[in-house]
Amino acid sequence: MPVAQESGGRNSPIINIGIERQDRAAIAEGLSRVLADTYTLYLTTHNFHWNVTGPHFNSLHA
């Protein structure tokens, strides 16, 4: 398998998936932001779920 020399002296496989390296980096950055936002939303809704009070507690907390 061909390898490309990376800065820092580490060898890694050449990646050829039809997307340029800088474009892959931009995609990875965008996906990281989406993942962070999704996890934040999950934690927020999880917090609301565990702090339900009042007459609808049983139906909403189940």
The domain limits of the chain are: 19-50
What pLDDT digit, counting tens, does each position of 43-58 carry? 999 888 778 788 878 8
- Asked whether the predicted pLDDT for residue 3 surpasses 90, the reply is no
Handedness of CA 20, 6, 25, 1 (dihedral sign): positive
Question: What are the residues facing 3 on neighbouring strands?
Answer: 13
pLDDT at res. 36:
98
Phi, psi of 53 (to 5 degrees): -135, 170
pLDDT at res. 51:
80
